[in-house]
Amino acid sequence: MILSIFLGLPLVWTSYGCWTDNTGARTLSAASYTNTTGMTVESCISFCSSGANSYVYAGVEYAQECYCGNYLASDASNVSMSECDMTCTGNASELCGAGDRLNVYWSGTQPPAPPIIVPGVGNWKSLGCYNDSTTTRALANGMGVSGQVTVESCTAACQDAGYQYAGVEYADECYCGMTLDNGSGPTPASSCDMTCAGNSSEYCGGPDHLNLYNYTGTPTTTDNTGGGTGTELLITPSLSGGWTYGGCYVDNANGRVLGDELDSNDMTVESCVAHCTADNFTIAGLEYSTQCFCGNELVDGATKAPDSDCNMACGGNATEACGAGNRLSVYTSTGNITILPVPTPLTTGLPGQWVYQGCLAEPAPGSHLLPYENDWTNNNTVEACLNQCAAFGYPAAGLEYGEQCFCGDISDVVDNNGAFVSGSECNMPCSGDPTHLCGANNLMSAYYWNGTMNVWHTPENIGRYEFLIGGVVVPLIATVGINNKVTFLEKYPTSEFANSTGAYELDISLVDNYLLAWREMHVKSDVFCSGSIILPDKGARQINVGGWSLESTYGVRLYTPDGQPGVNGTNDWEENASELSLQRGRWYPTAMMMPNGSILVVGGETGSNGPPQPSLEILPKPPGGDTVITLDYLQRTDPNNLYPFLLVLPSGRFFIGYYNEARILDPVTFDTVTVLPNIPGAVNNFLAGRTYPMEGTAVLLPQHAPYTDPIEILICGGSTPGAAIALDNCVSIVPEASNPTWTLERMPSKRVMPCMVTLPDGTYMILNGAHQGVAGFGLASDPNFSALLYDPSQPVGQRISILNSTIIARLYHSEATLLPDGRVLVSGSDPETNYPNGTAVYPEEFRIEVYIPPYLNQGFRQPEFTIAETDWALGGQYNIIVTLYQGTTSTMRVSLIAASSSTHGNVMSGGRIIFPEFSCSGNTCTITAPPNAFVCPPGWHQLFVLDGPTPSHSAWVRIGGDPAQLGNWPDYPDFTTPGV
């Protein structure tokens, strides 16, 4: 999503651009409010144009602040719209300025006559603009006024109290005195440029500047101390709830000592205490007659002042004291007042290997040195920020503006020309820890990890890509058959090619002859975004379910591989919806072979971009009526749960991963047994997802005889909602552990729409995809050309090696599939991403590559073996005769990889790999098949022998038979059954 200024403006309001602002002298100074959760452009404009507010300009800043006025400050300047880049807290599709940057909107009307310095009010005469200071006041006594501050209301209040001088400052402050103190003197009139809060046609001083007035008439009282009528202000009114007076405290000596401000012209001690009580605070403070602050402690090294300093009457009760200028009348509900010291940088006791670096300046307002931002309005702490960055593998952390936590790499700081400034400039306390500093505006308190956080290996032998053959279509589904040929399915009849039949088979042995390598096959309905697995019947049939729309979404299609390398088969896809179909139409479903030999089909939508199909069903259909089971969690998480991950666990239960959630299901009732912790996403967005369309990929990690270790699941890649920033991490979990938790490992680059291939040595190749976007046509950019190798035998955080790169963009509808010779076939890419003139940014990709993994790139001859018996019973023992060329049987390994079909990065066998028990006598080795259908669901497997690192070519073996007798199903005239 590209954010823009809000265009749906009310009435005649229009955007007036991005303008500079600063906290000392506001660009718009007439009225303002803050909404930390609900600020929008519309609400700000409504505030600035409704009721008593009828202003020409409205401005939104820092995501949550709204300012109004009839004039733009003279020192404000119009800057690039790109500097106003923060989203509104109430609408993430709108921009609400940035730090010291305002998105300004104009009503279309001309402002009233410019404000003036009022020359006089009755006997009060203007002396001009005078300098002032918050610590050494020019006029000693702050004064409450009736209503909002104007020149008239301030001079009246000072006259009633018998003072000689009156001064208005910072738009809404009134001061009185008998003398002009602390060396105050005249300054240019331009320094008093803030309009009065109660009358925008008048100037009421500015930051640290007073519009000063002198009384020239006869004093109305002889009390020249400013006592007015001499009424004594109460500091200990009778309060409910155990609240008591705690004293008068200095405010703003080092910063605000209380937060949570409420302003009211009718303020009383009772109303302030009630407000703080309602928000569960234990301390209330009243200041400047009309201001109420709440908290649970005083911060910034608050110090006591004489009670007489809190001498301003409350706006709503002239007999009560409500602080004064920079003085707080403090009340407590506990009888205790905790005072926290002036905040300092946290430099000791840091978690992990973090080290404080200093104060870093951002390169420009609205831009950031580190790319990932978390906004924690009430709970930002140094420790929390550092732990968050470390958890996601980022060795650079920065805290800014009290409430922001940024994560990234140290190289980000270097690449963006980050510069350190004086540490004193990072002076804002953390929102969740007022004793420590969390940067300032456009300044971050920086921390670096001292050491290596992520070990990404860069081996000398990285393998290589090779061009294999030109394709005939862009395949959506790739499946290696037991005939050692690869079947491809594509969109049909919605293909870009009118003569496409939707199905083709590639004979790898004939790739040097394009015309002979490809065999045309046929489907009868559109398999676009369907799902496939391999059946455990004698023919190792490939079954494909679901489809794009209408009748095709109910489709059940079967193909029995035949022929052999170099010899064409004659079988084709069989389909007849009137004889065999799903109970529900499904687009983007997942299929899985269950331990009992039946087929589980889960999820999807009812058709192309249609309503969700949040349910499961079984093939062959159980007896009875409708046997579909609705899954409420798929209903709730639609449309981010398509192609859910389905895996059989060694307990016999099922793992299902969908969107950013996962759970374990009972294999009979399909009820939830365990809800697993949510799947971690991005460092700054827990709503990131792992299934289509925020597409990642998932596999089971290896199982080793005697199969007593709990199985682990690995999920890599994905994306975020909205901005669609691809994820740069893999996560793993032992789902049936007593306290399952996700372990996160950072990848060297971001990747959405990845493919993951199980290799015979128990490692996994990760390739294809993009750095940005989501799955779908035209929805991703910035291809990821590099391949990675994930080795689960290495320690966590050290499992990834960076392999070679391709020159071909492999985006939406790309696949990667293990071939029987140990190479990886890489195919497809159907992004349909075009420039405005209609030309392709990333073309439809017909070229087919293979990746030569490192184990085939060492010059070693591949081992060989012969096998006589390929139909294995669970727990049975079977012989092979091996020929090794590097090592001996003492270093040999044997692996079994389940037959699979892959689409959209979803390997619908879970990429299951098993290392079975075996023993050898000479070159005859006896393999013990896995013990049960939970460890090894029934089906066909590629059997590999590994001579050291080098795998053999595979042989196909069937393990566990065909317990559901799928080989005799379906019993209809248009289907050929191979037998069980």
What residues contact 924, with CB distance under 8 A and at least 6 apart?
A: 879, 880, 881, 882
Q: Which of 94, 335, 74 is nearest to 190 (CA)?
A: 74
Q: Which of 53-67, 484-498, 901-915 has the lowest average pLDDT?
A: 484-498
Q: What integer pLDDT is reported at residue 887 of this predicted model?
A: 95
Distance CA 828, CA 815 (A): 6
Which whole number is the average pLDDT over 940-962? 98
SS3 assignment, position 647: strand
Whether residue 232 is predicted with pLDDT greater than 60 in this model: the reply is no
**Which band of pLDDT confidence, cut at 50, 70 and 90, is reported for residue 222?**
very low
Which whole number is the average pLDDT over 447-451? 97
Q: What integer pLDDT is reported at residue 223 of this predicted model?
A: 46
Q: Which of 212, 146, 150, 220 is nearest to 177 (CA)?
A: 212
Amino acid at 312: M
Q: What integer pLDDT is reported at residue 10 of this predicted model?
A: 55
**Tens digit of pLDDT for each residue in 617-662?**
999 999 989 999 999 999 999 999 999 999 999 999 999 999 999 9
Which whole number is the average pLDDT over 878-901? 97
Containing 44, the helix (H) or strand (E) segment is helix 41-49
Whether residue 570 is predicted with pLDDT greater than 80 in this model: the reply is yes
Which whole number is the average pLDDT over 292-298? 94
**Which band of pLDDT confidence, cut at 50, 70 and 90, is reported for residue 228?**
very low
Contact 29, 69 (CB under 8 A): yes
Whether residue 52 is predicted with pLDDT greater than 60 in this model: the reply is yes
**Tens digit of pLDDT for each residue in 793-805?**
999 999 999 999 9
Distance CA 902, CA 198 (A): 70
Which whole number is the average pLDDT over 155-176? 90
Contact 745, 796 (CB under 8 A): yes
Whether residue 6 is predicted with pLDDT greater than 60 in this model: the reply is no
Distance CA 168, CA 183 (A): 18
Whether residue 315 is predicted with pLDDT greater than 60 in this model: the reply is yes
**Tens digit of pLDDT for each residue in 664-705?**
999 999 999 999 999 999 999 999 999 999 999 999 999 999
Whether residue 147 is predicted with pLDDT greater than 90 in this model: the reply is no
Amino acid at 369: L
Q: What integer pLDDT is reported at residue 7 of this predicted model?
A: 44
Q: What is the CA radius of gyration of the chain?
A: 36
Q: What integer pLDDT is reported at residue 909 of this predicted model?
A: 84
Whether residue 864 is predicted with pLDDT greater than 90 in this model: the reply is yes
Percentage of the chain exceeding pLDDT 90: 78
Q: What integer pLDDT is reported at residue 216 of this predicted model?
A: 82
Q: Which two tokens stand for residue 812?
A: 């939406």
Q: What integer pLDDT is reported at residue 621 of this predicted model?
A: 96
Within 193-265, strands assigned E span: 195-196, 199-203, 209-215, 244-250, 259-263
What residues contact 471, with CB distance under 8 A and at least 6 apart?
A: 488, 827, 846, 847, 848
Per the prediction, the chain carries an average pLDDT of 93
**Tens digit of pLDDT for each residue in 104-138?**
999 888 888 888 999 999 999 998 999 998 778 89
Whether residue 943 is predicted with pLDDT greater than 60 in this model: the reply is yes
Q: What integer pLDDT is reported at residue 9 of this predicted model?
A: 58
Distance CA 968, CA 497 (A): 36
Q: What integer pLDDT is reported at residue 769 of this predicted model?
A: 97
Whether residue 217 is predicted with pLDDT greater than 90 in this model: the reply is no
**Tens digit of pLDDT for each residue in 452-483?**
999 999 999 999 999 999 999 899 999 999 99
**Which band of pLDDT confidence, cut at 50, 70 and 90, is reported for residue 231?**
very low
Q: Which of 762, 759, 810, 815 is nearest to 786 (CA)?
A: 810
SS3 assignment, position 383: helix
Q: Which two tokens stand for residue 173?
A: 């402050």
Which whole number is the average pLDDT over 281-292? 95
Whether residue 96 is predicted with pLDDT greater than 70 in this model: the reply is yes
Ramachandran region of residue 301, left (φ > 0), alpha (ψ -120 to 50) or beta?
left
